[in-house]
Amino acid sequence: MSAADAVREITAMLNRQPTPANEVEQSVAKAFNEQPIAGNHYRRKSKATFQPTKLKRVAERMAHVENPARYICERSNVVVETQNSASVLRRLYHRHGGAKILVFNHYKSQGQLLWEAANSDRIQQDKIPLDEGDGVWFLPQPVDGEFHPNPRQDNKPSRRSEESVTAWQYLVLESDEASEADWLRCLIQLPIPIVAITQSGGKSVHALVRLNADSKEDFDRQVDAMKPVLVCLGADPAALSAIRLTRLPQATRGDRNQRLLYLWPEANGMPISELETQVERFGDDYKEALRYV
């Protein structure tokens, strides 16, 4: 995937005008470590891999943000402390969309709960599987709930493989390489539609990016366009796959919390760093104003 291809794919994902006009081109050029030249072509300087010094430089642009987690919480479209795991799922998957989501408290299992958006008013927090020591996950791609032969595992029946997926909605971003502070300072600058950010209860932070791909092939194509940029900045390349579990926000992981930092299901790709705070948008009564958002 070339830098020019990446510019086209990322620009197509945005549902807003880039600001400035060359926002995407410059971001891609920096991440690819290439120089833009005439005719929408690029001259490669080196292969894109994780570059800690580049992540540090990007993070330093937001060095004035002393507490990145609090900064992000203040720009969420939902007051995060009012949410639980069930309400987060209801916000990510609208009731009339028909989504079925697998929830796990055993990572290598086939899921302990098939959460259904159509019945989300009856699937309250007490129905969510409890942590049994290593936390709780969910598969962000909706599935049909049926077992299908998985040809990549000797046709072993599975309800969490791509054969079960009904929509290719979300990409998971996580980094085990970067410090939490640098990773968060990086995430808030990305011009992509981040809909949720969750602390894993360990050393990583998971971000959920809306893709709404038409197919698995389209999902892979969109990810291929962004992958050099994201990996350069510390994203785990193994996590950039269509079938990837992510931490369920507001669940527990042993004695730690999988804390929700940010939730905005209708995110339009504007960097979080450019969003107003809840107080700036609604004043001191922001909690009341956001209650029914």
Q: Residue 45: its pLDDT value, please? A: 47
Q: What sign does the dihedral 70-72-78-83 (CA atoms) show? A: negative
pLDDT digits (tens, 9 = 90+) for 30-84: 555 555 555 555 555 455 689 999 999 999 999 999 999 999 999 999 999 999 9
Which residues, in sequence order, are CB contacts of 217 under 8 Å at separation 6+?
Answer: none
Using a CB cutoff of 8 Å and minimum separation of 24, what contacts does 181-184 make? 181/59, 181/68, 182/55, 182/56, 182/59, 182/234, 183/55, 183/59, 183/234, 184/68, 184/69, 184/71, 184/72, 184/261
Q: How many helices (H) and strands (E) does the chain have?
A: 9, 14
pLDDT digits (tens, 9 = 90+) for 181-209: 999 999 999 999 999 999 999 999 999 99
Q: Residue 101: its pLDDT value, please? A: 98
Q: For the chain, what is the mean pLDDT?
A: 89
Predicted TM-score (pTM) above 0.95: no
- Residue 270's CB is within 10 A of a number of other CB atoms, namely 17
Asked if 192 and 171 touch (Cβ cutoff 8 Å), the reply is no
Percent of the chain with pLDDT over 70: 87
Q: How does residue 261 score in pLDDT terms, banded at 50, 70 and 90?
A: very high
Q: How does residue 24 score in pLDDT terms, banded at 50, 70 and 90?
A: confident
* Whether the predicted pLDDT of 274 surpasses 70: yes
Say which range, 40-44, 183-187, 212-216, 289-293, has the weakest mean pLDDT: 40-44
Q: SS3 of 105, please? A: coil
Q: Residue 289: its pLDDT value, please? A: 63
